[in-house]
């Protein structure tokens, strides 16, 4: 495609789960990504969810999503014949992305030095749990091991529970994003100088910045940030902050933030709905008039006057309860959309269904329909993470079936004869 | 421009006008600086980056220049204060944009319109500019002007509903999660794609990364489970459908500052060989020699029981011991690290991941290093985060070509503010 940013780039994709989001990003920007699966198929094909809940390597929605816009071949690179074919393919490629344990490809002569002999300006991107060197380089990883050892998991959850793992293999996603960026950075350098190089991505390092302020907090003050549950860093329930139940789900509120409408606007809305109860009376109305971020700081000063503090906490608790009742009587979409129109900071706690029907995403035609002829179905996919005006993101084809492009790649492009391909198949190389 | 330019890096010679604030924009621009770009961070005392006022601060230090939160996202940048509410400030912004290869902002569409910084206006100043916008919701659509930042973005984009244990409210990940890797990282990929396209064709372009879209994209499997199968997934704790045991297991408590500290180790068993290795590492306890646990379906069925039994073992050992034992047996396992673990981690030290920089006001503090390593052009954090307006004179003279008199005028007109 002429309009693709990476239409001149061929990527050999040997990546397991920790790197495969990277090659999806490259493929959806137009690179010719050839996914190389072992002859018995990519293990990720066995990860759900599955089309119509029928577990099958040809029905994994998880695999489908991560392999859009790619072509697919099968090849056992550990067999001598397979390795020879890989070398021929590598000579035509710009980038190899791999996720083997450090040293594995080197042991086969296919590490960076080996590949650079085949293709001097090759870019090799290695994505692993802990990077190519250091005392933990050979440690085994999985998604949860990466998020645990990146410092982000300790921040998530309730103190009464184990630290929470983020949903959706976020360790692999984060490593994949950094790997795509690192690969692109190396491509930019190659465009400038003709020089290839080795890109080393450690999932642990890729995710470290997700610690938010925890790392700097320890560095500067030796205090350890840990998980603090639903209340976050607040010592008490503050009216209008946090998660609230609605008639049909939940919203997250953050009222009184700079730039938004004040709590009095919230009270006016509750009053207009006949749901303000006694909040327009003293002492509630006065307190609501002052309820903003600065108010919280004032609360700390009140600690010097325990009776006054107790009174204030009682007042706040009542406002909280009335506000919670108001939320409970409304739908989550009403609170979110009506609240935002009044510049009250509400965020809907979206379920996947809410995302699918989100009016903003719908207006922007974000979800993408992709045809799967062999399923006789059109599946609805997540849409673009970014929109580039000149070189748009696009799902260029559905994920490959196992070995779908073997003939196209081996015979039409590499010049093997159909008989040679058959023989490789018979020997389990392809 | 030799005073601050780089040579031989992937982005040497690339100029960036960084009109962003908070997390998603500044982190992306920092990465551009790390790999050689000259980045001018534009700020104003009229609308300070909120992070400058947020903890942590070094003990005994206050002010706009010492926040560890802000500083970690702004290393390697030059800092210019410009008041876009003044005519001269606007004029200087235009000169800076004419200099820039990349313009980046995550201000709201309403403000960008007010400031006249839409793409159509920028191309008049710099025809091949790569103009990057990171609105919350996008520049069109019914929710265009909805307010938001990371704390609200996480619930809106589905992370709160999907992360955590099902018996708890949808509290999210304890951070403004999409701000730190998902959104800045996606933006960096898009910018580098645009740079390649410009190199090939001479043409710039407009990039829009609506933070809602960028943040939801990684949740694609849950969306497809809904659009294809009609299932509405929700929180499932630390378990995975295709692994067991899988989660964080409580280990022996530690003591820190005289207080007990709970310690945990993540353990992930995907197949029977890993299960057998785990059992052996635990000393082959009798309970584990049970046909019900021999295969994944059985382990899934009895996962509560298995988790309780494993915890009896892990409680007897330090988290580091559990990790080392299991890793030596080939089972994926890792300490649920806190920030102390991260900064003191031998492995990260050996790889020199965290970088210590001497900041004129904050002192010597740690920064996250480059998020990926390039063997021939490793990224470098060239300088600590800038003080507010630290490089006003340098930028005015060397980039904007102003004379001392012009700078004085700009100061009097409160344009450099």
User: How far apart, in Å, are the Cα atoms of B333 and each of A16, B128, B281, B323?
Assistant: 18, 49, 12, 5
A308 plus A409 within the same structural domain:
no
Own/partner pairs for B278-284, CB < 8 Å, 24+ apart? B278/B245, B278/B310, B278/B326, B278/B329, B278/B331, B280/B329, B281/B325, B281/B326, B281/B328, B281/B329, B281/B331, B282/B310, B282/B313
A408 plus A286 within the same structural domain:
no
What is chain B's Cα-based Rg? Answer: 25
Average pLDDT score over residue span A198-227: 98
Q: Do A199 and B158 touch (CB under 8 A)?
A: no
B294 and B271 Cβ atoms separated by less than 8 Å: no
What tens digit of pLDDT does each residue of A117-153 get?
A: 999 999 999 999 999 999 999 999 999 999 999 999 9
Strand partners, A245: A250
Q: Is B384 part of the contact surface with chain A (CB cutoff 8 Å)? A: no
What tens digit of pLDDT does each residue of B118-161 get?
A: 999 999 999 999 999 999 999 999 999 999 877 899 999 999 99
Q: Do A228 and B223 touch (CB under 8 A)?
A: no
Share of chain B above pLDDT 90, in %: 97
B27 plus B125 within the same structural domain:
yes
Range of the domain at A115: 10-211+364-426
Please indicate whether residue B1 or residue A38 has the higher confidence score (pLDDT).
A38
pLDDT at B149: 77
A63 and B240 Cβ atoms separated by less than 8 Å: no
A253 and A238 Cβ atoms separated by less than 8 Å: no
A164 plus A30 within the same structural domain:
yes
pLDDT at A63: 98
Q: How many CB pairs under 8 A join A and B?
A: 507
Q: Is B169 part of the contact surface with chain A (CB cutoff 8 Å)? A: yes
H-run or E-run covering A168: none
Where are the extended beta strands (E) located within A9-128? 10-14, 32-37, 70-74, 95-98, 123-128
Residues of A in contact with B219 (CB under 8 A): 167-168, 352, 355, 382
Contacts of A15 (CB under 8 A, 6+ apart): A22, A23, A97, A98, A99, A127
B159 plus B301 within the same structural domain:
no
Confidence of residue A1 (pLDDT cuts 50, 70, 90): very low
Residues of A in contact with B378 (CB under 8 A): none
Average pLDDT score over residue span B381-387: 97
B196 plus B256 within the same structural domain:
no
CA distance B372 to A179: 7
B336 and A153 Cβ atoms separated by less than 8 Å: yes
What tens digit of pLDDT does each residue of B24-57 get?
A: 999 999 999 999 999 999 999 988 999 999 999 9
Instruction: Choose from A43, A60, A346, A360 for mutation: most chain B CBs within 10 A.
Output: A360
Confidence of residue A256 (pLDDT cuts 50, 70, 90): confident
Instruction: Choose from A1, A146, A160, A388 for mutation: most chain B CBs within 10 A.
Output: A388
pLDDT at A230: 85
Q: Which residue bears the tokens 């409970």?
A: A328
What tens digit of pLDDT does each residue of B56-81 get?
A: 999 999 999 999 999 999 999 999 99
Between residues 8 and 27 of chain B, which touch chain A (CB distance below 8 Å)? 9-11, 27
ipTM: 0.98
pLDDT at A308: 87
Average pLDDT score over residue span A26-34: 98
Range of the domain at B318: 246-344
Nearest residue, CB atoms, B165 vs list A146, A164, A355? A164
Three-class SS state of A290: helix
Q: Is B308 part of the contact surface with chain A (CB cutoff 8 Å)? A: no
Nearest residue, CB atoms, A185 vs list B192, B270, B342? B192
A155 plus A98 within the same structural domain:
yes
B163 plus B189 within the same structural domain:
yes
Closest listed residue to residue B109, CA positions, set B210, B180, B24: B210
Length of chain B in residues, anyone? 417
CATH number of the domain bearing residue B137: 3.40.50.10540
A15 plus A122 within the same structural domain:
yes
Q: Do B264 and A148 touch (CB under 8 A)?
A: yes
What tens digit of pLDDT does each residue of B86-123 get?
A: 999 999 999 999 999 999 999 999 999 999 999 999 99
Which sequence positions of B are flagged as catalytic?
179
Nearest residue, CB atoms, A347 vs list B155, B181, B339? B155
What distance lies between CA B323 and its chain's CA centroid?
27
CA distance A418 to A412: 10
Average pLDDT score over residue span A4-33: 97
Residues of B in contact with A348 (CB under 8 A): 155-156
CA distance B345 to A211: 15
What tens digit of pLDDT does each residue of B276-308 get?
A: 999 999 999 999 999 999 999 999 999 999 999
What tens digit of pLDDT does each residue of B337-369 get?
A: 999 999 999 999 999 999 999 999 999 999 999
A29 plus A54 within the same structural domain:
yes
pLDDT at B115: 95
Give a yes or no: residue A203 inside a domain. Answer: yes
What tens digit of pLDDT does each residue of B255-269 get?
A: 999 999 999 999 999
Average pLDDT of chain A, as a whole number: 95
What tens digit of pLDDT does each residue of B161-176 get?
A: 999 999 999 999 999 9
A171 plus A312 within the same structural domain:
no
pLDDT at B3: 60
Whether pLDDT at A2 is above 70? no
Residue B87 burial class via C-beta count within 10 angstroms: exposed 0-12, middle 13-18, buried 19 and up? exposed
Give a yes or no: residue B44 inside a domain. Answer: yes
A344 plus A370 within the same structural domain:
no
Instruction: Choose from B266, B277, B303, B384 for mutation: most chain A CBs within 10 A.
Output: B266
Handedness of CA B395, B400, B403, B408 (dihedral sign): negative
Contacts of B121 (CB under 8 A, 6+ apart): none
pLDDT at B2: 47
Count of domains forming chain B: 2
B300 plus B402 within the same structural domain:
no
């Amino acid at each position: 495609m002429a309009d693709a940013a990476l239409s001149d780039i061929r990527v050999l994709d040997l990546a397991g789960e920790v790197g495969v989001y990277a090659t999806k990003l490259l493929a959806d920007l137009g690179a010719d990504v050839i996914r190389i699966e072992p002859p018995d198929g990519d293990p990720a094909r066995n990860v759900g969810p599955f089309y119509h809940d029928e577990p099958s390597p040809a029905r994994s929605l998880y695999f489908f999503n991560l392999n859009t816009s790619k072509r697919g071949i099968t090849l056992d690179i550990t067999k001598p014949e397979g390795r020879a074919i890989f070398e021929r393919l590598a000579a035509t490629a710009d980038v190899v992305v791999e996720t083997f344990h450090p040293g594995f490809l080197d042991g086969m002569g296919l590490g960076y030095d080996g590949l650079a002999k085949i293709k001097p300006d090759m870019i090799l991107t290695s994505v692993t749990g802990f990077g190519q060197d250091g005392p933990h380089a050979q440690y085994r990883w999985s998604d949860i091991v990466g998020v645990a050892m990146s410092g982000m998991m300790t921040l998530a959850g309730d103190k009464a529970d184990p630290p929470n793992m983020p949903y959706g293999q976020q360790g692999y996603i984060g490593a994949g994003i950094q790997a795509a960026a690192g690969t692109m950075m190396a491509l930019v350098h190659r465009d400038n100088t003709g020089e290839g190089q080795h890109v080393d991505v450690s999932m642990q390092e890729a995710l470290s910045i997700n610690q938010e302020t925890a790392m700097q907090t320890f560095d500067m003050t030796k205090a350890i940030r840990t998980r603090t549950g639903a209340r976050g860093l607040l010592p008490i329930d503050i009216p209008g902050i946090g998660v609230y139940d609605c008639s049909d789900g939940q919203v997250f509120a953050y009222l009184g933030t700079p730039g938004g409408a004040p709590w009095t606007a919230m009270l006016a809305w509750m009053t207009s709905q006949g749901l303000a109860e006694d909040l327009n009376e003293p002492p509630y109305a006065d307190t609501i008039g002052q309820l903003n971020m600065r108010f919280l700081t004032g609360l700390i000063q009140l600690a010097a006057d325990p009776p006054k503090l107790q009174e204030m906490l009682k007042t706040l608790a009542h406002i909280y309860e009335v506000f919670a009742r108001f939320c409970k009587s409304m739908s989550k979409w009403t609170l979110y959309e009506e609240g935002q129109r009044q510049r009250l900071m509400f965020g809907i706690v979206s379920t996947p269904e809410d995302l699918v029907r989100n009016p903003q995403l719908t207006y922007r035609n974000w979800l993408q329909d992709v045809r799967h002829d062999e399923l006789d179905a059109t599946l609805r996919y997540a849409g673009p993470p970014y929109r580039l005006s000149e070189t748009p993101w696009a799902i260029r084809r559905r994920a490959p079936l196992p070995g779908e492009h073997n003939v196209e790649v081996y015979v039409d492009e590499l010049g093997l004869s159909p008989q040679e391909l058959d023989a490789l198949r018979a020997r389990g190389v392809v | 421009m030799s005073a601050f330019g780089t040579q031989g890096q992937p982005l040497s010679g690339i100029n960036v006008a960084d009109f962003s604030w908070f997390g998603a924009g500044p982190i992306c621009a920092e990465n551009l600086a790390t790999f050689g770009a000259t980045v001018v961070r534009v700020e104003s005392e009229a609308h300070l980056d909120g992070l400058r006022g947020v903890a942590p601060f070094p003990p005994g230090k206050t002010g706009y220049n010492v926040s560890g939160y802000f500083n970690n996202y702004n290393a390697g940048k030059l800092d210019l204060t410009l008041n876009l509410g003044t005519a001269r400030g606007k004029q200087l912004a235009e000169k800076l944009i004419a200099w820039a290869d990349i313009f980046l902002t995550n201000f709201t569409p309403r403000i960008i319109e007010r400031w006249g910084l839409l793409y159509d206006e920028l191309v008049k100043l710099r025809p091949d500019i790569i103009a990057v916008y990171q609105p919350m919701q996008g520049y069109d659509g019914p929710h265009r002007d909805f307010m938001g930042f990371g704390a609200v973005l996480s619930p809106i984009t589905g992370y709160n509903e999907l992360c955590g244990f099902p018996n708890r409210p949808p509290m999210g990940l304890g951070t403004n999660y999409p701000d730190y890797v998902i959104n800045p990282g996606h933006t960096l990929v898009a910018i580098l794609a645009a740079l390649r396209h410009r190199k090939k064709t001479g043409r710039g372009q407009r990039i829009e990364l609506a933070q809602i879209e960028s943040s939801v994209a990684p949740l694609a499997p849950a969306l497809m489970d809904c659009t294809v199968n009609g299932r509405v997934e929700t929180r499932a704790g630390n378990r995975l459908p295709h692994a067991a045991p899988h989660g964080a297991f409580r280990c022996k408590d530690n003591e820190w500052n005289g207080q007990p500290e709970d310690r945990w180790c993540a353990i992930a068993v995907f197949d029977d060989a890993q299960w057998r290795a785990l059992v052996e590492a635990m000393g082959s306890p009798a309970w584990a020699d049970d046909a019900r646990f021999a295969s994944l379906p059985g382990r899934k069925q009895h996962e509560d029981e298995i988790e309780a039994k494993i915890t009896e073992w892990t409680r007897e050992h330090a988290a580091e011991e559990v990790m080392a034992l299991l890793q030596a047996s080939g089972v994926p396992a890792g300490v649920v690290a806190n920030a102390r673990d991260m900064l003191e981690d031998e492995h990260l030290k050996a790889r020199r991941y965290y970088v210590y920089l001497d900041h004129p006001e904050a002192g010597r503090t740690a920064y996250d290093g480059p998020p990926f390593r390039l063997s021939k052009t490793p990224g470098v954090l060239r300088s600590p985060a800038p003080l507010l307006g630290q490089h006003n004179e340098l930028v005015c003279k060397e980039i904007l070509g102003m004379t001392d008199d012009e700078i004085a005028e700009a100061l009097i007109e409160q344009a450099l503010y």
